[in-house]
Amino acid sequence: MSEVALVCKLSEVAAEKRTALAVALTSYLPRTLEALESGLIDEYAASRVFDATACLPEELARQVDSLLVGRFDVRNASALRRIVNSIIMRIDPDGYEERRQRRIEARRLELRHGDHGSSSLFADLPAEQAQAIYAACDRDAMALKLKGDPRTMDQLRVDCFVARCLGGSGDGKARAEIFVYVDINTLLGLRDGPAELGGYGDISAAMAREIAFKVDSTWRRIVTDPITGLPCDEGRRTYRAPRAVRRHAHLRHRTCCMPGCNRPAQFTDLDHATPWREGGGTDKVNLRPLCRVHHLLRNEPGWTFTTDDNGRLVVTTPSGRTYTEEAPMDIALPGWHSAIRCGEPPAAARPADSDAA
């Protein structure tokens, strides 16, 4: 390994990682190697597949690799790793749950000192806790920004995080939320279908139930039209979407619709696909979540945002390239629920809460 490090001009740790990746690609990840050699993915994306499968026996890793055929052409390496993790959870549910419990036991907080008087804190903790902490700081930051605070949102999130940790107040009173999407049979333990943690990706049924049944969790559902199965909308009556329609957009799209963006939908703007001033309605068909950055990007010269026949966002860049969002989830199925864990316990017991227009 020392010789590899010298030849490649790498540290021994980096050389060991490169060597392990090469061994994996040439032994039990042949489809990933083919995708790399054909230019479908780069070395970093291949390393993400390797990292996600390194915990598996070679036989299972090979099975995951074979199931990736036709799925390498995704928007980025992070999306590819989420696909790999989703496959692993489905073909090895017991092993996934064991590894999840081990990662919880191995949780830690690490301090790394940097240059120019700065340091970084790294917390390795359960995904739902990380999401809730970020959501709380984001809400605090947004509350200050709306009051005219001149700091950037990044600066505000960090300052609010520090205030929370050190006993101060970020002055944000909105309750932090994370969204877990799960069907009712899985929620009740009648089956073990996968669930999804908004902004993170697929999680196991056991993890979804743990979040849903915590004392500080509430459940919400969409009240839908008995004929169409979709929530009532406001058409052209109002620019702002009613609560049920907003919730539908969040549940259906899960994240910002911009290809490659994973910001949870509840922290985005609702964009009218056909602008309101051009006759677009405030309804379940015309509304889609876009984070503030990509909402503003829509109006930049050279960028075109359109909708295809399947209701998916198609983005054309100034160079003429097009990117299409992943297909939205169909939530109009009977029994589809969203379990929502809040960062603060509710004032009373938590019966099922309904959103109506």
pLDDT in tens, 196-236: 887 677 888 888 888 888 776 777 654 445 455 454 444 44
The pLDDT value recorded for residue 283 is 72
CA pair distance 309, 290, nearest whole angstrom? 19
Residue 334 pLDDT greater than 60, yes or no: no
For residue 273, count other CB atoms closer than 10 A to its CB: 17
Radius of gyration of the chain (CA): 22
Stretch 54-60: mean pLDDT = 94
Cα-to-chain-centroid distance, residue 239: 27
CA pair distance 274, 356, nearest whole angstrom? 24
The pLDDT value recorded for residue 309 is 78
29 band by pLDDT with thresholds 50, 70 and 90: very high
Residue 329 pLDDT greater than 70, yes or no: no
Residue 347 pLDDT greater than 90, yes or no: no
Residue 313 CB burial class (10 angstroms; 0-12, 13-18, ≥19): buried
- Contact between 337 and 178 under an 8 Å Cβ cutoff? The reply is no
Residue 340 pLDDT greater than 80, yes or no: no
The pLDDT value recorded for residue 157 is 94
Stretch 235-251: mean pLDDT = 68
Chain-wide mean pLDDT for the chain?
Answer: 79
**Which is higher by pLDDT, 187 or 140?**
140
For 67-94, the pLDDT digits (tens) are 999 889 887 888 899 899 999 999 999 9
Residue 171 pLDDT greater than 60, yes or no: no
357 band by pLDDT with thresholds 50, 70 and 90: very low
Residue 175 pLDDT greater than 70, yes or no: no
The pLDDT value recorded for residue 92 is 92
265 band by pLDDT with thresholds 50, 70 and 90: confident
CA pair distance 26, 24, nearest whole angstrom? 6
Which SS3 state, helix, strand or coil, does residue 255 take?
strand
Instruction: Name the pTM for this structure.
Output: 0.59
For 93-106, the pLDDT digits (tens) are 999 999 999 999 99
Stretch 299-319: mean pLDDT = 87
Please enumerate in sequence order all residues whose Cβ is within 8 A of that of 3, keeping only pairs 6 or more positions apart, or say none. none
Alpha carbon separation from 88 to 32, 35, 41, 44, 243 (Å, rounded): 15, 19, 20, 20, 36
